[in-house]
Amino acid sequence: MHESFKKRALLALKIATAVCSLVGLVLSLIFYAQDGYSHWWKRLLFFTSQSNLLVGVFFIFFTLYPLIKFKDEEKAKQIICTIKYCLTIAITITGFIFLAVLAPFAHRTGYNAWSLSSILTHIITPVLAASDYFLSDMIPLKKRHLFYSLIPFVFYLIFASVFCILKIDFGRGEAFPYFFLNYYSPAGIFGFSPTTPPFVLGSFYWFIILIGIILSIGLFYMKVHPSNKRKK
């Protein structure tokens, strides 16, 4: 009975995660103008939208996974667990950066940090995804998985940097998605500008800080998951 209840609870949790991430994303696209964006698709250029889209799509797949027969079940489980680990870190970073860095400065740009879509994509979805990760059975993670957790961030960094260098508008009249990706700020890439917050540090130093945060969260998630404790 206990095992059956756990399976149903995890299924409901996965469905809730997919629904919250996709509903939050769709709402952000529908009400793009209220947050000062010029076009709805511009919101898809942000890490928040991309991470929530990936979570929504893959969590739909995770709900269907038990119904699919794989030729190599063990390898399939390893791939799926690795994807889930990376996505969980990515969406956690979405919530962490929002609460620690972006929301405190939202009033300067007129962005409504506490709209329903923002709460769904930045807070509720990360909490649900992390809950599913810790409650689900996972393969014991290895050291290489920790560095896999950097893949979504590094991919987005390259993607956004190309747009920044080309000075493409991200939808609010600015050629950068987040202030720490503004290579033309008073601090630039390698400089410092203590008198112009939030552009206190150059982009390079923000990248180092963010990589450190991602690896720290990834290591924490890896170490405290029950599967790794059982391995020990």
The structural domain count of the chain equals 1
Q: Model-level pTM greater than 0.75?
A: yes
The SS3 of residue 192 is strand
CA dist 88 and 126 (Å) reads 7
* Chain segment 160-181, per-residue pLDDT in tens: 999 999 999 999 889 999 989 9
With bands split at pLDDT 50, 70 and 90, how would you rate the model's confidence at 230? low
* Chain segment 68-78, per-residue pLDDT in tens: 888 888 888 89
The string over 207-227, giving b where at least 16 C-beta atoms fall within 10 Å of a residue's C-beta and e elsewhere, is beebeebbeebbeebbeebee
- Give the structural domain span for 42: 2-231
CA dist 92 and 122 (Å) reads 8
Q: What angle do CA 27, 33, 37 make, to 5 degrees?
A: 100
Tokens describing residue 6:
């756990």
CA dist 134 and 80 (Å) reads 15
Spatial CA neighbour of 87 closest among 220, 218, 219: 218
Instruction: Write the burial class of residue 99 (CB in 10 Å: 0-12 exposed, 13-18 middle, 19+ buried).
Output: middle
* Chain segment 209-225, per-residue pLDDT in tens: 999 999 999 999 998 98
- 192 phi/psi in degrees, rounded to 5: -135, 145
pLDDT of 110: 64
Tokens describing residue 128:
């649900």
